[in-house]
Copies of this chain bind each other. A is one copy, B any other.
Amino acid sequence: MSEQLAAEAARLDAADELAKIRDRFALDSDTVYLDGNSLGALPHSVAPRLQEVITREWGQLRIRSWDESGWWTAPERVGDRVGRLIGAAPGQVVVGDSTSVNVFKAVVAAVRIAQAGGEDGAGPTGGAVAPGGAVSVRGAGDVDGRNGGVTPPGVPGDVPARDEILVDATTFPTDGYIARSAARLTGCTLRPVPPGEIASAAGPRTAVALVNHVDYRTGRLHDLPGITAAVHAAGARVVWDLCHSAGALPVGLDAHGVDFAVGCTYKYLNGGPGSPAYLYVARDLQPRFDSPLPGWNSHADPFGMEADFTPADGAARGRVGTPDILSLLALDAALDVWDGVEIEDVRAKSLALTDFFLRCVGRYVPAGRVASVTPTAHGERGSQVSLRCSDAGAVMTELIRRGVVGDFRRPDVLRFGFTPLYTGFADAERAARVLAEVLSEGTGTSEGVS
């Protein structure tokens, strides 16, 4: 049984066009690393590039590097490289800050746009855009020292106020915390909704929906085109969190008319621990993007040192403070692994890997010991497999001891991330085999799936 699947894995690896990409990463054959959905492996391109940045650009050129080494424009330049992988044409993605901070920018800006209504006719497609938002988007010129305070949610007449933020109820927690803060600061109400119900929940009071593209716990892929269209039809805006999809599958932001998106770069994009996140603002919304974090880097003339804020055009409007150059250029170097790689091929391999892993688990693991919480339908699956297992914590500790690195999510989930650029079918087979061994031997606390 084991020999048969191992032989099949060898055949699949031999036929895999992406297999050669693994050489671009620092990996050893002792370990099966299935935690790239948490921290991507190190690309070989990073260390020499960072040495150059540190010793030559910082050490020798010093301040001149802001111009001469292209540091100042790196957030947009690297943003465009990320953009290619998530279906965004150049000029719409900027890299910087954390995912949480970018969620805050996007949600507050989306509320402001939704409350201002469909000015200039550029409202969401097919939407019943509330025309009577009481407050126009406050322009950059509103800098006389008297802001007059908070945007009132009330609207004159009988047009309902857009004062509700919908959030994916199964979201990675930080999105929910930040959305709640955004609601509090903009006078909105936050309503958690299961992601499958967001399309139907969006209504005339909805300002924005914040949704995860892939659920971090179950690996479930949500319907980005359908939810986006439904939220637009309700006259609202949508913010997608791409942390668990970017670099794993095609996202198609432009193609599906997404308004805003955010994501980290340290998972499938391999940017390194805590590498800077990104913000996508669709081109047609950029002129109305009214950031709650208008730092000097988003000023139209940052070195003019003006007391009044005039926002930059384009993606730079999403910047805040001085970009974190070392981490940003580490990410830039890390993105070299994508040279010549098409995301559609990555997706095909990802599905083949997770299919194969599930088959191996089904074949090797004693019946009833684990249950997959990851959907079997391809259209609903990201690039990880999550298995419920009552003693998951102890099982993962033992797996890691035996060289199979996934992670444990409380209370009872084993997560295995499949990163097609460096994970092979033999890795999947080995992981399932070692998992079966651990489960068969018992961890001292093993039980059936509850």
Contact B186 A150 (CB under 8 A): yes
Residues of A216-243 contacting chain B, CB below 8 A: 217
A50 to B326, CA, bound (A): 10
Whether A115 sits at the interface, judged by CB under 8 Å, is no
Binding stretch for chain B, among A58-66, A82-90, A342-350 = A58-66
- Residue-wise interface mask of A (151-162) relative to B, using a CB-CB cutoff of 8 A (1 in contact, 0 not): 101000000000
Whether A250 sits at the interface, judged by CB under 8 Å, is no
Chain B residues within 8 Å of A440, by CB: none
Given contacts A54-B50, A100-B321, A149-B188, contact A181 B326 (CB under 8 A): no
Chain B residues within 8 Å of A149, by CB: 153, 163, 183-184, 186-189
Chain B residues within 8 Å of A291, by CB: 181
Contact A322 B189 (CB under 8 A): no
Residues of A46-62 contacting chain B, CB below 8 A: 46-47, 50-51, 54-55, 58-60, 62
Measured CB to CB, the closest approach of chain B to A102, in angstroms, equals 9
- Residue-wise interface mask of A (276-315) relative to B, using a CB-CB cutoff of 8 A (1 in contact, 0 not): 1100000000000001111111010001111101000000
Given contacts A58-B272, A71-B273, A184-B150, contact A101 B321 (CB under 8 A): yes
Contact A174 B321 (CB under 8 A): yes
Whether A42 sits at the interface, judged by CB under 8 Å, is yes
Contact B296 A177 (CB under 8 A): yes
Contact A274 B409 (CB under 8 A): no
Contact A47 B42 (CB under 8 A): no
A266 to B322, CA, bound (A): 10
Identify A147's interface contact among B138, B169, B183, B292, CB under 8 A. B183
Whether A172 sits at the interface, judged by CB under 8 Å, is yes
A262 to B187, CA, bound (A): 28
Measured CB to CB, the closest approach of chain B to A326, in angstroms, equals 5
Contact B192 A277 (CB under 8 A): no
Residues of A179-196 contacting chain B, CB below 8 A: 180-181, 183-192
A192 to B307, CA, bound (A): 10
Contact A63 B39 (CB under 8 A): yes
Whether A80 sits at the interface, judged by CB under 8 Å, is no
A306 to B217, CA, bound (A): 12
Contact A274 B305 (CB under 8 A): no
Chain B residues within 8 Å of A33, by CB: 62
Whether A173 sits at the interface, judged by CB under 8 Å, is yes
Contact B145 A192 (CB under 8 A): yes
Count A-side interface residues using an 8 Å CB cutoff.
Answer: 96
Contact A190 B147 (CB under 8 A): yes
Contact A42 B54 (CB under 8 A): yes
Measured CB to CB, the closest approach of chain B to A381, in angstroms, equals 21
Q: Could you tell me which A residues sit within 8 Å of B by CB distance? A: 26, 28, 33, 35, 38-39, 41-42, 46-47, 50-51, 54-55, 58-60, 62-63, 65-66, 71, 97-101, 104, 108, 138, 143, 145-151, 153, 163, 169, 172-174, 176-178, 180-181, 183-192, 217, 264, 266, 272-277, 291-297, 299, 303-307, 309, 320-328, 330, 405, 407, 409-410
Q: List 10 additional A-B contacts (Cβ < 8 Å) besides A100-B296, A108-B185, A174-B295.
A: A26-B55, A33-B62, A39-B58, A39-B63, A50-B326, A97-B101, A101-B321, A150-B185, A275-B326, A324-B327
Residue contacts A-B, CB under 8 angstroms, 26 given: A26-B59, A41-B59, A42-B54, A47-B51, A54-B272, A58-B272, A63-B407, A65-B273, A100-B320, A101-B293, A108-B185, A145-B189, A147-B184, A149-B184, A149-B187, A149-B189, A177-B294, A177-B309, A178-B295, A181-B294, A273-B325, A275-B326, A303-B410, A304-B410, A324-B324, A327-B327
What are the 9 closest A-B residue pairs judged by CB atoms, nearest first? A98-B321, A100-B295, A273-B325, A174-B296, A100-B321, A149-B187, A42-B59, A26-B59, A274-B324
